Amino acid sequence: MNLLAEEEIYVTEGWSGHIYALQEQGHDIGYMDPPNGLGWQECLFVIKGSPMEVCEKLLNFMLAPETSIAVAEGQKYPPALEPTKIDLGKKIPTLSAFDPTGTLDGLTFANPTYWNGHEQEWSKKFHRIQKGY
């Protein structure tokens, strides 16, 4: 992101929230999701043995529209809310990767079974490449 901001590079892969943050700082940077580009989502998990009542309260709080919107505005990534059913305010629809249809049809999401089945092999190769051999 620093290289983009300093105009050392002009085209790169980048996270939409990081690009949006640079745009907010006044950098003249565009953003696009290519057709069938890789999509990503974050998840919340409850670990076995956790106090369920407290965890349910936390999850309900995090999933509440007002919380989800506030987090999305702060992080600059669209929330996991249905934009055709919930008023997301003025800022969310301006976020780089916002999909007003809520379908995310233009993105490809990794198959977790395939990904997890190859992750160790890929990690070994990645670390070799990262080290330069």
**pLDDT tens-digit profile of 13-47?**
889 999 999 999 999 999 998 899 888 888 888 99
pLDDT at 40: 83
What's 91-126 look like in SS3? CHHHCCCCCCCCCCCCEECCCHHHHHHHHHHHHHHH
pLDDT at 114: 94
pLDDT at 42: 80
List of long-range contacts for 13-21, beta carbons under 8 Å, 24+ apart: 15/77, 16/76, 16/77, 16/95, 16/96, 16/97, 17/75, 17/76, 17/77, 17/95, 17/96, 17/97, 18/76, 19/96, 20/76, 20/95, 20/96, 21/76
pLDDT at 21: 94
Spell out, as residue ranges, where the chain has pLDDT lower than 50: none
Q: How many domains does the chain have?
A: 1
pLDDT at 132: 86
pLDDT at 50: 97
pLDDT at 43: 82
* Domain span at 116: 2-131
Could you count the other beta carbons within 10 Å of the beta carbon of residue 18?
16
